[in-house]
Chains A and B, each alone.
Chain A
Amino acid sequence: MDAASVASQFAHDLIPACAGVGLRFRHHQEVVEEQPVAAWFEVHTENYMGGGSAPAYLDAIRRDYPISLHGVGLSLGSAEGIDVRHLESVRDVMKRVEPGLVSEHLSWSLSDGVYLADLLPLPMTEEALSIVCTNVDRTQTYLQRRISLENPSSYLRFRHSTIPEWEFLAEVARRTGCGILCDVNNIYVSASNHGWDALTYLEALPPESVTEVHLAGHSIRQLDQGQIIRIDDHGSRVAPPVWDLFELALKRFGPVPTLVEWDTDVPALEVLMEEAAIAEIAIERQRNDNLCAHAA
């Protein structure tokens, strides 16, 4: 293979610093048949474990697009450690897909052999930090590659937490060398729910560790006592204040692969493409700003 084709293969495998789209089952056939102009796609790793039509579609799509794998089931925050069988399944999907990025969450879901089907929050303690780092280390060693860790959206905090979440995440990246998947919507949701300053969160994340950004819609729930809580349900367009925060994230991190996620009431692919186009304009603007700053 000559240098040009090596370079082209390499570029095909990498996730470009452009806006991508979360690929969901209902869009499989459309993507294969119509080959929309999308820079890359991201899928949930757990949806492609096993055989049948879903991984077959992904094989076909992978021939034309870079793919990022985003897991929800490794439970990197479990005190009991990693479920090795699940890790094996992740590795099998990875071998098949040859993804440009592999990511998971700063959260936990497994306890005493039971899978609690949500991304549960961790207490921000030295003990939890040490456990997460051990689990991330084991995962990266087993998979033989760097993974990125996503900041969660959360609806509760634990009394005995001693470390701000943004410092916790930055420290996991520092100790393990993992990347950070900065979910801007999650920062907005958690900051709003807990009274944090979203900018403080963004500014605590080391730009060199940020491998990807996520954007999604969230909902606002009015509770019985009149309080408002924001729920990260991935069921609507990205909210205007999240777009504003995304601009600030781009200023800090530079152009990075950015994904628009939509998981509840998934709309037509063109709606997702429209959201990705808005993100792409912001990324391009940041790229131009960087070039101008460099020229000056």
Chain B
Amino acid sequence: MTTCAPTLLELQCAVRRDLLGLSDGDASGYVVPDGLAPQARLAIYRNTANSTLLTALRLTYPAVQALVGSEFFEGAARLFIEQHPPLNAQLDSYGATFPDFLAQMPEAASLIYLPDTARLEWAVNEALHAPDAKPLDLRRLEQLDAADMHVVRFLPSPAARVLESPFPVDAIWHAVLSRDDSALANINLSADPVCLYIHRGPSGVEVNRMAEGQCRFTAALIAGRPLHDALVDVPDAETSVWLAHLLASGCFVDIRLSNEASSQTIGRQVT
């Protein structure tokens, strides 16, 4: 039992290790028993914290939960919470690595599409909570001269994402969340890979499927590749339609010439 008075730093370190289950009984020596064992008192806090984080994961990953069942989800989430506690109090941003965690769980290996379904849910979650940004004002393009057209690139909206998967995760996600069992039963897992454009529109987050060329083109522009280069990389008659679609959906917030530094940092996920 710990007897001498700890500093606040030492005490908080001991309580943290105790709540994370790293070192059993480490903090209990500092706690007044007073009719109830110190470990039982600490467990009240541990349970509250775990339950808060479990709720945060349930809110972000409803389709994963529906696919694996509530009990399995809770078990996986508890293991994840223990190994990957949050680093800040913004719980909307907690759980980014849960898809990778699921991917290495042998118990979940039979659901081969599960990690990518989780990745889609994470992308949707990020798009949902991304900072607000005004869509690009097209008059900015009018100000460019001919030479600029070779080096112009777009700054993506923080709420725009591209996600690729060998499985039709958008169809799985949609069928699970709308509880459409017949749609779920009809999903062909060996169909072609999907490429998804995820963005937040005026009526919420949208997930749109793209063709292979459109995917490469969109991913390149979101990654900050100059428009000219993206057009060369993907020589397709449809590029102007794709670009119009991206502009109309608010995918970009500003333009830069490729020799200019970005004035803002914008998170993006292109896989």
Contact = CB atoms under 8 A, between A and B. Distances in A.
A89 B88 CA distance: 11
A159 B29 CA distance: 8
Contacts of A128: 8
A50 B129 contact: yes
Contacts of A117: 48-49, 52-53, 86, 89, 91
A99 interface: no
Interface in B1-32: 5-9, 11-13, 15-16, 19-20, 29-32
Nearest to A231: B44
Given A120-B15, A160-B5, A155 B86 contact: no
B72 interface: no
B90 interface: yes
A73 interface: yes
B254 to A, nearest CB: 16
Nearest to B200: A52
Interface in A97-130: 108-118, 120, 122-123, 125, 127-128
A174 interface: no
Interface in A46-81: 46, 49-53, 55-56, 72-75, 77-80
Contacts of A109: 89
Contacts of A49: 90, 92
A134 B113 CA distance: 50
Nearest to B2: A159
Given A52-B200, A123-B8, A115 B85 contact: yes
Given A156-B32, A160-B30, A51 B89 contact: no
Contacts of A56: 132
Given A85-B88, A156-B38, A157-B34, A51 B129 contact: yes
A73 B88 CA distance: 8
Contacts of B52: 117-118
A97 to B, nearest CB: 14
B130 A156 contact: no
Given A50-B130, A125-B8, A194 B34 contact: yes
Interface in B103-135: 128-133
Nearest to B40: A223
A167 interface: no
B159 interface: yes
Contacts of A120: 12, 15, 45
A226 B30 CA distance: 24
Nearest to B36: A227
B230 interface: no
A80 B13 CA distance: 10
A127 B9 CA distance: 10
A27 interface: no
B147 interface: no
Given A123-B8, A229-B44, A156 B91 contact: no
A123 B128 CA distance: 39
A51 B205 CA distance: 12
A116 B131 CA distance: 25
Contacts of B210: none
B42 interface: yes
Nearest to A113: B87
Interface string B238-264: 000000000000000000000000000
Given A51-B131, A123-B11, A127-B8, A155 B16 contact: no
Nearest to A55: B132
**Residue picked from A46, A80, A114, most chain B C-beta under 10 Å:** A114
B13 A111 contact: yes
A30 interface: no
A114 B20 contact: yes
B204 interface: yes
B128 A52 contact: yes
A128 B10 CA distance: 12
A131 interface: yes
B159 to A, nearest CB: 7
Given A116-B19, A118-B52, A229 B36 contact: yes
Interface string A209-233: 0000000000000011101010100
12 contacts: A49-B90, A50-B92, A51-B129, A52-B132, A111-B13, A118-B45, A127-B7, A131-B8, A156-B31, A158-B11, A159-B29, A160-B5
Given A51-B131, A86-B88, A157-B32, 18 more contacts: A46-B89, A49-B90, A50-B131, A51-B129, A52-B128, A52-B130, A52-B159, A55-B132, A79-B7, A83-B89, A112-B13, A115-B85, A123-B11, A127-B7, A156-B45, A158-B32, A159-B29, A229-B36
Interface of A: 46, 49-53, 55-56, 72-75, 77-80, 83, 85-86, 89, 108-118, 120, 122-123, 125, 127-128, 131, 155-160, 194-195, 223-225, 227, 229, 231
Interface of B: 5-9, 11-13, 15-16, 19-20, 29-32, 34-36, 38, 40-42, 44-45, 48-49, 52-53, 85-92, 128-133, 158-159, 200, 204
